Amino acid sequence: MNDNKTHFGYQRVDTAAKAGMVGQVFDSVASKYDVMNDVMSFGVHRLWKRFTVSQAAVRPGQTVLDLAGGTGDLAAKFSKRVGSQGRVVLSDINNAMLTTGRNRLADDGLIGNLDYAQANAEALPFADDSFDCITMAFGLRNVTDKAQALQSMLRVLKPGGKLLVLEFSKPVLPLLSKAYDAYSFSALPLMGKLVANDAESYRYLAESIRMHPDQETLELMMQEAGFAKTGYHNLTGGVVALHKGYKI
């Protein structure tokens, strides 16, 4: 495989161009992102994220990094859990998404323990051993070099800290898999057109889900990056999986 090429959905593109292309997608969808999440998942994404927060089990005073945090729904929950002595950093590579999230959280009165960072997960601008917990919900599949990103996350985690990656995965039931494919490639672009006036971005998002590593492959990638005690929970029949790993 040519190291200068990578996948953008089903397309093969120059590696150097992918981040900008993904950026254009999220520039386009930022203002409708929350509405589309509810429409696309019939609201179930809220349950997936609630489960992620429960598995994080963060305590008052701890530090949390929410990568690809977008509009801030996870960061809002963590902000309340770590309290005034804790710190939550909402980070996204895309300025439009980060701005949307910052404005939303400020409107909700969440100010004191929240920081913001526009950052690439492959080269996080934080000191070693900075965070008790890192979460990344529906963002890893958009990263160009996933292995490098996992290594970067491991570096900034404190010893004993945990990484939680919530991501679309491979349905475990064949009939569910077929139905999900039909939904993803027919309904998602149509809903993107109707709700966000952007069918192409949602076609890319559907393709990016299919190109993402399955459960076992992603767990192996986390182990190769140096994470210990790895595992995953299949949610909604494996449509989504929550991966967990620790820094020792």
Q: Does any domain span residue 195?
A: no
Per the document, the length of the chain is 248
Q: Does any domain span residue 128?
A: yes
Q: Which residue has the tokens 């919900």?
A: 137
Burial classification of residue 85, based on how many CB atoms lie within 10 Å of its CB (0-12 exposed, 13-18 middle, 19 or more buried): exposed
Q: Does any domain span residue 181?
A: no
pLDDT of residue 194: 75
CA dist., res. 204 & res. 210, Å (int): 10
Mean pLDDT, rounded, for 165-186 = 84
pLDDT of residue 1: 44
Q: Which pLDDT tens digit goes with each residue over 114-145? A: 999 999 999 999 999 999 999 999 999 989 99
Domain that holds residue 94: 5-173+201-246
pLDDT higher than threshold 70 for residue 199: yes
Q: Any idea which of 92-96, 113-117, 136-140, 191-195 has the lowest mean pLDDT?
A: 191-195
pLDDT higher than threshold 50 for residue 229: yes
When pLDDT is cut at 50, 70 and 90, the band that residue 204 belongs to is confident
Mean pLDDT, rounded, for 29-56 = 81
Mean pLDDT, rounded, for 187-204 = 74
Q: Any idea which of 10-19, 45-54, 75-84 has the lowest mean pLDDT?
A: 10-19
CA dist., res. 49 & res. 38, Å (int): 12
Q: Does any domain span residue 211?
A: yes
When pLDDT is cut at 50, 70 and 90, the band that residue 193 belongs to is confident
Q: Does any domain span residue 235?
A: yes
Q: Does any domain span residue 194?
A: no
Mean pLDDT, rounded, for 26-41 = 69
Mean pLDDT, rounded, for 157-173 = 95
Q: Does any domain span residue 189?
A: no
Four-point Cα dihedral 38, 41, 47, 51, nearest 10: -120
Q: Does any domain span residue 79?
A: yes
Q: For position 161, which CATH number holds?
A: 3.40.50.150
pLDDT higher than threshold 70 for residue 32: no
Mean pLDDT, rounded, for 9-29 = 76
CA dist., res. 113 & res. 155, Å (int): 23
Count of domains for the chain = 1
